[in-house]
Structures are given as C-alpha cells and as structure tokens.
Amino acid sequence: MGYLIGFAVLWMAFRKFFRHINSVFDSWYELGLKHETGKGVPQNYKEAVKWYTKAAEQGNAKAQYSLGLMYFNGQGGVPQDYVIAHMYCNLAAMNGDKDAIVNRGIVEKKMTPTQIAESQRKARGWKRTHQ
C-alpha cells in the first residue's frame, strides 16, 4: 500500500512539473508575441523571432506558426524563405494549429514541387532533433 501512495505522490509531482514547463514554453511564445506586436514592450521583430524560436523548439504550435509567417514575410531579420515558412507551418499543423494548415496551403502555391519536398524533408529532420 505504501508503494501505491508513494507512486501517486510522485505522479502528482511529475504532472505539476510538466504543467510548469509547458507554462514556461507558453510564456516564451507570449514574449515573442509582445515583441512582434509592440504590446507592453517596444516592437522588435528580432526579439520576437528569438522568443518564438525558443518556444517552437519545445513544440509550441503557435510559435511554430508565427515563425512560419515571419519567414513567409521576411520579418524579424529573417530572409523571406518559403521553404522554411512551409516547414514551420507544417510543424505547427502537425501540432494541431488549424491556421497553420490553411496557411501552409497558401505558402505551397508560391513553391515548386522540389521546394515542397525539401520543406517536408527539413520538417522531418527538425522533428527528429527536437523531440
């Protein structure tokens, strides 16, 4: 019986820890959003990219989608790059972001089949290194 109680306490501690970690990643996304929009801080696209990247590397779909838009538009000191924009939209779509699904299709219309294949290859590689 003592083992079950110990396991339950340990399980609850792990759940609390993981909720805290997820809130940190959401905070990184929120910092990126604040810097992108200039709400509460001076607008700074490079800072937005920095915070979105931190959150995206942890699987935050909103951050991945935001990076996709920034690469699509060439904002924040990143070059306009449809391959990378598609990759981030694809990652966000795989993580459940419905807007990313729509915008991935918009990006695809500006790409060649070779670029789409390259983006998909990059997304697979990204997933392997960030899981």
Mean pLDDT in order along the chain per 10 residues (131 residues): 49 44 66 90 92 92 96 93 97 94 95 97 92 69
How far is residue 115's CA from residue 111's CA, in Å, rounded to a whole number? 6
Domains (ranges, CATH) in the chain?
16-129 (1.25.40.10)
Q: Tell me what pLDDT residue 13 has.
A: 42
Q: What pLDDT score does 1 carry?
A: 53
Task: State whether the Cα torsion 66-86-97-99 is positive or negative.
Answer: positive
Q: What is the pLDDT of residue 9?
A: 43
Q: Say which residues have a Cβ less than 8 Å from residue 76's Cβ, sequence separation at least 6.
A: 36, 45, 46, 48, 49, 70
Predicted pLDDT of residue 76? 84
Q: Which residues contact 25 (CB under 8 A, 6 or more apart)?
A: 54, 55, 58, 59, 60, 63
Q: Helices 45-56 and 2-37: crossing angle, nearest 10°?
A: 160
pLDDT (0 to 100) of residue 92: 96
| 32-69 pLDDT tens trace | 999 999 999 899 999 999 999 999 998 999 999 999 99
